[in-house]
Amino acid sequence: MEQHRTPPERHGPRRGSPPTPLPPQARRRPGEERRPAPGTARPAPAMRPAPVRRLPNPRLTGLGGGLFAGAAMFLLGCLDQWLFGASLTVYGVLFLPVCVLTALWVRAGDLLTAPVVAPIAFAVGLVPVADSSGGMGGRMMGLVTALATQAGWLYGGTLLAGAIVLGRRVRLVRHRAVRRRPD
């Protein structure tokens, strides 16, 4: 026995049928001002609030966060060398805001990269700041010495980035739990 199948319902006009005419208010051209009906008052223009200037809120990938932190620390190291004569204390102080910005700007999927790239960025930025007398061996010794003597700044910035990332992660997990909860 043969079974006939009914076609699914179709919404909207069929192909090939003439389009339905638009109502008069929809026939305006783009950019044309809407005219009020004769005898009616023109409505007052809507007041828009002034735009609020906010701080930038970029979302960096893990690689982007590492590149940002490394480039920022290298530039700050060069600036420290030029302005302060390679002061390691100034360099350490400048490291903290870079850690904070990296931890705040990395996107939610790459949160764990911020505390990882902080020590790498610290080492990259030390290249222009570290003592560089005596060729390549002297530069390496200066870099190792600077890392050893400035470990407090390194650990502090890394812990700061870790704490911010941990706080963001807890907030993200709570937000997801609230959204999933049926109320």
Task: Give the pLDDT confidence of 42-78 residue by residue, as tens digits.
Answer: 666 667 777 767 666 788 999 999 999 999 999 999 9
d(CA 118, CA 109): 17
Please indicate, yes or no, if residue 39 is contained in any of the structural domains.
no
Taking 70 as the pLDDT cut, the residues of the chain under it are 1-4, 7-20, 22-46, 52, 54-56, 183
Please indicate, yes or no, if residue 11 is contained in any of the structural domains.
no
Number of domains in the chain: 1
Q: Give me 120's structure tokens.
A: 């790498």
Number of C-beta neighbours around residue 53 at 10 A: 5
Please indicate, yes or no, if residue 3 is contained in any of the structural domains.
no
Q: What is the pLDDT of residue 12?
A: 63
Please indicate, yes or no, if residue 33 is contained in any of the structural domains.
no
What pTM does this model have? 0.67
Please indicate, yes or no, if residue 32 is contained in any of the structural domains.
no
Q: What is the pLDDT of residue 8?
A: 65
Please indicate, yes or no, if residue 120 is contained in any of the structural domains.
yes
Please indicate, yes or no, if residue 60 is contained in any of the structural domains.
no
Please indicate, yes or no, if residue 42 is contained in any of the structural domains.
no
Domain with 114 in it: 68-180
